[in-house]
Structure 1
């Protein structure tokens, strides 16, 4: 075999597993396919179940039907859409090594769904952070303006803006990278800067700003949370003795009234302080999880056109897929974060699980009883 023939054989073997863009397809053994398929299936199913629980809880439990929870439902719907309309196709693509098998037409539809749902999820998180900030800093005026119609308009605006990001590739501004083996969002530099800024960098900046302001408000509140010269709240029982003593001494009556007013103000300050602390903790975890999940992917997406050019991607396929699934994992985390910090949601979850368990138990009991009856 001469050198030219050997080169041709190598080139043929290489291009069998490569796309026209130069992305090398991943080759998985049977054990790897089972492991990858199991992990991705569990991730998808848990994402569906978690977000479905949120939607069911808020829509069917009267106590949770509040305008502020419209945003939680919008977030859950966006994350649920990712799990139902996006994750299964990505899972299949990854199991067969990264090759796109669903055709060029559906590639554009798939990318549009992926971008719209992920952007809606991210932007809803951003709006939730603003909502929490206004609820903490304007507790008297903001809830009055927080009507159902207003929140519905905000949710609609989030989804319309998210959908607008998907339109340019569909109407000719920039074409998605789409051949027989690859389905990749357009690498046009202008569109990449526009889409990543609107879908991620601006929302993330707003979330960080809201978290900082809530954290600062909680810190200032903690510094002011003292009553000098009077007993603490745990000594509230002493007020009973104070009232008894006031029956005899007018001076003690006045002191008792003064103490009661201060005690009432102290309880109010404690309530505000705890609410600010809880909001800061919740938003801190939300922002932290969001950053860990999505920041690596968007940094790669922003840098890719400048490094690889606009025709295709030069990033190793396994790196792309790992960072993409890390971003999708945020859709799994969100419902559990809000349930952890929301007592009403936690209670509703427990009730749903309890009712579901009892239903399954009754059905199983009927089946077993019927089976024993037929045997005898």
Structure 2
């Protein structure tokens, strides 16, 4: 049989696709393992995070978690529709994507990638309003719905030109085993998107979290001012380490009168003293002279007790204020750190891809660079649920309980 009669195979291509390496080579194995790990990690992490939020009533009622769910939906959709086909493309060198235009169109659309950017900026603005302007702009369902609608409108509007094929039509990119818009076809479209992302979206996110950090810094200074008060006030506040101590102190005040009879019994048991040997008239005169001062002394003690009780109440209020301020400060710190990590991972994952594929730079992209930048962009769908899950204490507790039940079930099954 002559070579002209043989049909094309994935490794004997007549469609002009460059074969960079055999499917059984070390490079192909490394590419396949990494993309499968990204796919499975992103799929599992997003599904668990979504199920945890939806099953927990407290998390589900938190309006901010609606935006987190919107981010998870974008990441999960991107994982299923974009990353999954890249696994096949690694081993068949794009044969399936190149000969199935509809699948390449689904795989290469950037709807959910732009949705990720829009949702992250919506989360940033929502966190800024909740922390810095909480009194003026309290969380509301209408505001959250507006943010979600904005995310989808921005995502659809940004990806529509390439989805419709008007500019930068979606094509298979040989260098990266993936389909994506042809950025070199229409430079204006690519530049416009980069300007929107890195001139509008990214500075907005940065400014929002700078404002959050400044608010946290002011709260930290205000809280530390309590410890910088006068020594008397500090000693009073420091003596109230627990609410139980306050209760014990107040309980000990009424029992102060009970100490006097005990002392009298102890003194009478010692035998005669100089007071017992004094004449009777002297005793009468002393009793008549000390009767009124004792009443005044008792009245003074009662006023002193009332004053102490009032001071204890004030101290308790200050203590509760400090605790509430510290709790809010810890929450705001966690919010600022979580948002900062989301912004940094978004930039680190997508900035190399935008630079390498920029039409302004005439870069001869080698195969390893094309694969590395695309794989790094894919990994953003894995980092988002991990960051939010591990930074949220309630979700973290849910994860630990779930893994504990799994381990107990495995141990009992083995037994």
Segments of structure 2 that go 5 or more residues without pairing to the other structure are 1-11, 255-300
Preserved CA contact (<8 Å) 1:19 1:25 = no
Q: Residue 81 of structure 1 aligns to a residue in which SS? A: helix
Which position in structure 2 is the counterpart of 1:131?
126
| Alpha-carbon spacing, 1:358–1:44, altered in 2? closer, same or farther (3 Å) | same
Q: CA RMSD in A?
A: 3.2
Which position in structure 1 is the counterpart of 2:140?
146
Say whether 1:236 aligns with 2:241.
yes
Say whether 1:45 aligns with 2:40.
yes
Preserved CA contact (<8 Å) 1:233 1:263 = no
| Distance apart, 1:200 and its partner CA | 5.4
| Alpha-carbon spacing, 1:254–1:245, altered in 2? closer, same or farther (3 Å) | farther
Which position in structure 2 is the counterpart of 1:211?
209
| Alpha-carbon spacing, 1:146–1:359, altered in 2? closer, same or farther (3 Å) | farther
| Distance apart, 1:208 and its partner CA | 0.9
Preserved CA contact (<8 Å) 1:78 1:118 = yes
Alignment partners' CA distance in 2, 1:213 and 1:254: 39
Segments of structure 1 that go 5 or more residues without pairing to the other structure are 1-15, 369-376
Larger Rg: 2
Preserved CA contact (<8 Å) 2:105 2:170 = no
Measured against aligned partners, the alpha-carbon deviations of 1:184-241 in whole angstroms (never above 9, x if no partner) come to 4132111102223335553222211111111111112212222112235674345446
Alignment partners' CA distance in 1, 2:35 and 2:198: 24
| Alpha-carbon spacing, 1:246–1:295, altered in 2? closer, same or farther (3 Å) | farther
Measured against aligned partners, the alpha-carbon deviations of 1:139-192 in whole angstroms (never above 9, x if no partner) come to 34544x422x54234223312220222211243531426379684413211110
Q: 1:78 aligns with which of 49, 74, 77?
A: 74
Q: How do residues 1-376 of structure 1 correspond to structure 2 at under 5 angstroms?
A: 25-28=19-22, 29-66=24-61, 67-97=63-93, 100-112=97-109, 115-143=110-138, 145-147=139-141, 149-176=142-169, 178=171, 183-187=179-183, 188-199=186-197, 201-225=199-223, 226-227=225-226, 228-229=229-230, 230-231=233-234, 232=237, 235-237=240-242, 239-240=246-247, 243-244=250-251, 248=301, 249=304, 250-301=306-357, 304-308=358-362, 314-354=364-404
Preserved CA contact (<8 Å) 2:78 2:113 = yes
Preserved CA contact (<8 Å) 1:245 1:253 = no
Preserved CA contact (<8 Å) 1:57 1:345 = yes
Q: Given the two structures, how large is their TM-score scaled by the length of structure 2?
A: 0.71
Preserved CA contact (<8 Å) 2:50 2:72 = yes
